[in-house]
Every structure is written in C-alpha cells, then in structure tokens.
C-alpha cells in the first residue's frame, strides 16, 4: 500500500503514511458528523411516543456534549493530518527533486526548458500540495464514510437505501469519465503557463538588447499574446471541469427527490413508518453534502495526474552512478577513440584520441562547433561518451561517481555564473570553508584587486544577480579566482581569458602559470596568443583530431594550426 501511494501520488514514504493517516481522519470526521443525526432520530422517536423520559433528557444532554467533543477532536485531527502533514511533505518533495536534479547528467538539462523545470519544482509541487491538503484525503474519506453509513442504511430499509444511494455511483461515473478531457486541458494549460514564464524570463535577461534595438514594443506584443493564450487555456480548463461537475451535482440533488418519492409511496402503503422516512431524509442531506464537494474534488484530482507525471519523470530519470573510491595513478587524461552525439544521428565527436599529460598544458583549438568544449565536458563527465573511453590516471571516468570525480577538477567556462552575493563569497565557492586570507590571495592571483577596490564595499560588495555590477572581463577573473582557490589537480579553461584585454590576459596567464604546475591543464581557445605557451596542441576539426603536437611541430607542418596562426597575424 505504501509503495503504491508513493508511486501514484509522487510521495515520500513518510508522505504516504501521512496520507493514510489523513484519510483516516477524514473518515472519523465524516462519521462524527453523523452523531447529531442519531441523536435527533432517537429524540424524534421519543417525541412521537408522546413524551421524553427524564432519564433520556440527561442522555440527550450528555450525547450532545459528547458529539460536539468528538466532532471537535475529529476536525482538529483532520486539520493536522491534512494540512500540516502535506506542508511538510511539500518541503521534502522540493528538496528531493532538487537533490535528484543535482545528480542528473547535463544531457537531461539539454532536453528540458529551465522554466519548465522551475515550474515542476515550484508549480507542480504547489498544485500537489493543494490537492493533497484540500481534496484527495477528503475525497477518499467521503467514499469510505459513505460506505459505512450505507451499510447502516441497508440495515434499516434496503428500498429506501437504494433510493438514496443510486445517485452516488452515477455521479462518480460522470466525473470519472472526464479524466481524459481534464488531462487534455491541463496539459495545454501547463504548456501555456510555461510559455509565459519563458517569455518573462527571456524579457528580463534580454532587456538591454531589446532596449538598444528599440524592440521592446514588438517583444511585449508577443508576450501579451502568450499571456492571453494562457488566460484562455485557464478559462477552457474551468469550463471543461464544469461540463462534468455541474451535471454530477445535479444528479446528487435527484437523490433527495427519489428518497422523498419512494418514501412517500412506502409510507402510504404502511411499508415503513414515519420515523424511518424521517431518518432517511436526515441522512441523505448529511451524506450528499460531502459528496457534492467530492465531485468537484474528483474533477481536480483528474488533472492532478499530469503534475504527478512531471515529477515522476524527473525522479525516474537515470542518474550517473559510479564508485565513491577514486584513486587514479596520476592525472593524465586519455581519450581513446571517443565518439559522442547530443542527438541521435548528429555526431559531435568521432574517433577522438589524444592524451593530456599531467604537468603539461594541452590546448584544444579549431573551428567553432568542432567539438572542443564538448571534449572538455566529457572529460569532466558532464555527459558520458557514446563510444570509446576517457580515463583519468588510468581510471575510466564512467566508473566514478560524478561528484567524486569533479573534486579533482577546477573549471572556468566562457559563460561565467555568479551569484547575488559578495565578491568574497562568490570566490569562496571554489573551496568551502576557505579563510578570508585564502580568498584574497586567490583574488590577487587572478588580478581582481584592481577592480574590486573600486567597488563601494570592496570584497564585501554584493554584485547583483549573475554579477550584473561587473563587466564581462571582471566576471571572468572572479571565476578564475575560484579555480585558483580550489587548487584541483586538473584545470579546464574554456575561453577563460576571452573577455580580458591584452594586458590583463598577460597578467592572468602569469598567475595561471604558477597555478598549473604539476597539474593537468586543458585550455580551449580561439586566439593563438592564448595557447602559445602550451606544451601540446590538439586541433579538432569536424569532430575529429586533425593534427596534434607541439606548437613548433604544427607550425612547421603547415597544417590547420599554421593557417590559423597566419590568419591571426602570428599572435
């Protein structure tokens, strides 16, 4: 049962147990609310008999107090079991999804829209939270408590019970039949919502370019159209729900009419007494009330499956596994006949073979799209190669847990990501627990001192979202400082100095020369000036190794490297 609930509603084990507890609380409240009906039945019987015995007066008085107390306790239990338990589960679910995403390969993120993933963690979990706190336990609680009450009704009179209960399965079938329609509307609504979030995020990220090209008006027209479509989808979804819920609730109302009609006929034939007729009229009014809301809940629950499927998709995606024990014999990186494609039939690397030795700088150069950055990311196991092997110190990277493997890497990408925090804390990401002295030493080595001291609070300046206060070159130097601070045995630099001017690039290269001693260094660059000090150059062209060797050897051979050098004026 626990496993089934975990899969059906995307719950943790504790959440599944809490769900069962919540359903039990809803059943208890439903039955507690029937106690006043029982008291009124016996009181009416006494009144019809002509008088209420004195002993019964105390019994009814105590019954009212006990019923009120039980209803209060059941309501309190239900409140805690549904709301508080669900809110805790939402926190657990968001953390679990974030942890899962942390362990997934970058191939997953390449197939997913970031706004869509954000919507899953925030939006889908929020919808599930609302359903599991307000609808789902109450629905199942209504079903179970109604079944218990139905047994009692059949014990009194099966004919009146049938007249009262026939509407329940009919109404449930109508709403249950709406599942496919609801799923269709929910999918379209979710797609429209994600499109709006994408548009807003893109607008915020590209506002500078939009303003500089006087394109704000045109862009906003498209964004407003997306918002209008999302609004239309929400309206259609509500109408789609109403088309099934309203008829189902109308059928429930017929139950009161059939009880009155059948009861009147049986009463006229003396087949039942007035008290039984009165009892059934009381009970149906009590039973139908939670079922009326349950009809609406069922319609909402039908759309819940879409949100659950989106969460299960993330949780069911295969993680990159591997051993936590990573003990390489040195840190040479060896590519052997490596092939890789982001999409089937679109090879990026084909039969790539080279070795980046420890203590040397190996430069990957070549035309854009030649596979340089892809090779570097495969070396760090951001993706897994489709064919061939990549080893570090003789250990196949596929056999090592990605987080354990990345402890050996310091990586500086061309696209730098900074956080809305201080300069100091952005650098400290390179080494958890690093002292201020270590952070400042790394910053000075990366030539950060000059621009940081011009900031309002120096190294304690909060630099804005993704370092919005800084220039491209300043942001790259902070990223380089992180790598220097981490001091890992393998260094990968993907166009790390592309945004620096010639003077600063020379200074940073000097700092890096001390950093890379006895390390394995992979540099990806387009500018020949950047790689002129490399011990080895690997030229990638069309996903293959076109040539490799020392700069002097390749220059003398007159191949691709020599032509690139000539085109850049001998830099």
Q: With b meaning 16 or more CB within 10 Å and e meaning fewer, what string describes 509-535?
A: eebbeebbeebbbbbbbbbbbbbeebe
pLDDT on residue 571: 46
What mean pLDDT, rounded, does the chain reach?
84
Is the per-residue pLDDT at 526 higher than 70? yes
Q: Nearest to residue 36, comparing CAs of 20, 60, 15?
A: 60
Angle at which helices 136-156 and 13-32 pack, to 10 degrees?
A: 40
Residue 494: left (phi > 0), alpha (psi -120 to 50), or beta?
beta
Q: Where are the domains of the chain?
A: 2-316, 333-567
- Say if residue 252's pLDDT is above 60: yes
Arithmetic mean of pLDDT, 553-560: 86
Query: Higher confidence at residue 89 or residue 533?
Result: 89
The answer to whether the beta carbons of residues 497 and 508 sit under 8 Å apart is: yes
pLDDT of residue 489: 93
User: Which regions of 467-550 does DSSP assign to beta strands (E)?
Assistant: 490-494, 520-524, 536-541, 544-549
Rounded-to-integer distance, Cα 66 and Cα 545, Å: 85
User: What's the pLDDT at 514?
Assistant: 59
Q: Does domain 333-567 have CATH number 3.40.50.300?
A: yes
pTM: 0.67
CA distance linking residue 377 with residue 519, whole number of Å: 18
Higher pLDDT, 457 or 172: 457
Tokens (6 digits) for 530: 């950047």
Taking 3-state DSSP, the helix, strand and coil percentages for the chain, each rounded to the nearest 5, stand at 65, 10, 25
Task: Decide which of 497 and 221 is more confident.
Answer: 221
* Average pLDDT rounded to a whole number, residues 384-407: 92
* Contact assessment for residue 352 and residue 540, using Cβ atoms and an 8 Å cutoff: yes
For residues 57 and 55, what is the distance between their CA atoms, to the nearest angstrom? 5
Tokens of 210: 């939009």
Provide, rounded to the nearest whole percent, the portion of the chain with pLDDT above 70.
94
Whether 352 shows a pLDDT value over 90: the answer reads yes
**Is the pLDDT assigned to residue 493 strictly greater than 60?**
yes
Q: Give yes or no for residue 78 having a pLDDT over 50.
A: yes
Strand ordering across the sheet containing 395-396:
346-356, 333-343, 387-392, 395-396
Q: What percentage of residues in the chain have a pLDDT greater than 90?
A: 20
Tell me the mean pLDDT in the region 425-448.
90
- Which CA distances in Å does 349 have to 116, 185, 383, 531? 29, 42, 13, 22
* Count of all residues that appear for the chain in the document: 571
Distance in angstroms (rounded) separating the CA atoms of residues 272 and 288: 22
The CA distance from 202 to 196, in Å, is 10
Reported as a pLDDT band with limits 50, 70 and 90, residue 469 is confident
**Least confident segment among 210-224, 250-264, 359-373, 444-458:** 210-224
Q: Is residue 19 predicted with pLDDT exceeding 80?
A: yes
Report the C-alpha gap between 238 and 171 in whole angstroms: 19
Asked whether residue 543 carries a pLDDT value surpassing 50, the answer given is yes
**pLDDT tens track for 109-132:** 767 777 777 778 887 888 888 788
Topology (CATH level 3) of domain 2-316: ABC transporter transmembrane region fold (1.20.1560)
Predicted confidence at residue 498, as pLDDT, reads 63
The pLDDT of residue 98: 84
491 SS3 class: strand
pLDDT for the residue 511: 61
Per-residue confidence band for 240, with pLDDT thresholds at 50, 70 and 90: confident
Q: Across-strand partners of 396?
A: 391
pLDDT of residue 96: 86
């Amino acid at each position: 049962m626990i496993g089934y609930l975990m899969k059906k509603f995307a719950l943790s084990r504790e959440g599944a147990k809490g769900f069962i507890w919540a359903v039990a609380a809803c059943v208890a409240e439903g039955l507690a609310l029937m106690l006043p009906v029982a008291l009124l039945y016996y009181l009416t019987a006494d009144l019809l008999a002509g008088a209420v015995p004195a002993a019964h007066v105390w019994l009814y008085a105590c019954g009212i107090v006990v019923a009120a107390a039980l209803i209060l306790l059941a309501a309190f239990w239900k409140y805690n079991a549904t709301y508080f338990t669900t809110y805790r589960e939402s926190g657990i679910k968001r953390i679990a999804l974030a942890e899962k995403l942390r362990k997934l390969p970058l191939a997953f993120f390449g197939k997913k829209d970031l706004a869509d993933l954000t919507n899953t963690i925030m939006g889908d979990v929020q919808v599930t939270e609302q359903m599991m706190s307000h609808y789902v336990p109450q629905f199942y609680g209504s079903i179970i408590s109604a079944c218990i009450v139905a047994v009692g009704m059949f014990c009194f009179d099966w004919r009146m019970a049938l007249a009262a209960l026939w509407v329940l399965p009919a109404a449930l079938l109508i709403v249950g039949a709406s599942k496919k329609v609801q799923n269709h509307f929910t999918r379209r609504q979710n797609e429209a919502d994600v499109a709006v979030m994408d548009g807003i995020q893109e607008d915020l990220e590209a506002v500078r370019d939009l303003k500089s090209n006087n394109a704000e008006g045109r862009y906003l027209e498209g964004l407003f159209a997306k918002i209008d479509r999302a609004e239309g989808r929400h309206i259609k979804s509500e109408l789609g729900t109403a088309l099934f819920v309203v008829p189902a609730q109308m059928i429930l109302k017929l139950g009161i009419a059939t009880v009155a009609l059948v009861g009147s006929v049986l009463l006229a034939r003396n087949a039942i007494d007035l008290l039984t007729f009165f009892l059934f009229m009381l009970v149906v009014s009590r039973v139908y009330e939670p079922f009326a809301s349950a009809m609406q809940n069922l319609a909402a629950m039908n759309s819940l499956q879409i949100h659950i499927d989106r969460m299960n998709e993330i949780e069911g995606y295969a993680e990159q596994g591997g051993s936590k024990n990573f003990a390489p014999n040195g840190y040479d990186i060896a590519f052997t006949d490596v092939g890789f494609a982001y999409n089937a039939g679109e090879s990026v690397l084909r039969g790539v073979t080279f070795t980046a030795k420890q203590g040397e700088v190996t430069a990957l150069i070549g035309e854009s799209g030649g596979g340089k950055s892809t090779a570097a990311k495969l070396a760090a196991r951001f993706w897994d190669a489709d064919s061939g092997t990549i080893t570090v110190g003789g250990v196949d990277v596929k056999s090592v847990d990605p987080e354990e493997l990345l402890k050996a890497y310091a990586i500086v990408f061309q696209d730098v990501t900074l956080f809305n925090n201080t300069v100091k804390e952005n650098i400290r990401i390179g080494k958890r627990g690093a002292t201020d002295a270590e952070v400042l030493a790394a910053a000075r080595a990366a030539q950060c001192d000059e621009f940081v001291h011009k900031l309002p609070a120096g190294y304690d300046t909060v630099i804005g979202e993704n370092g919005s206060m800084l220039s491209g070159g300043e942001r790259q130097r902070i990223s380089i400082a992180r790598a220097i601070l981490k001091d890992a045995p393998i260094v990968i630099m993907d166009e790390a100095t592309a945004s620096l001017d010639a003077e600063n690039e020379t200074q940073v290269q000097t700092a890096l020369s001390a950093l890379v001693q006895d390390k394995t260094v992979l540099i990806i660059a387009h500018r020949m000036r950047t790689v002129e000090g490399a011990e080895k150059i690997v030229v990638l062209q069309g996903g293959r190794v076109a040539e490799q060797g020392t700069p002097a050897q390749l220059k003398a051979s007159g191949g691709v490297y020599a032509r690139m050098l000539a085109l850049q004026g001998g830099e």
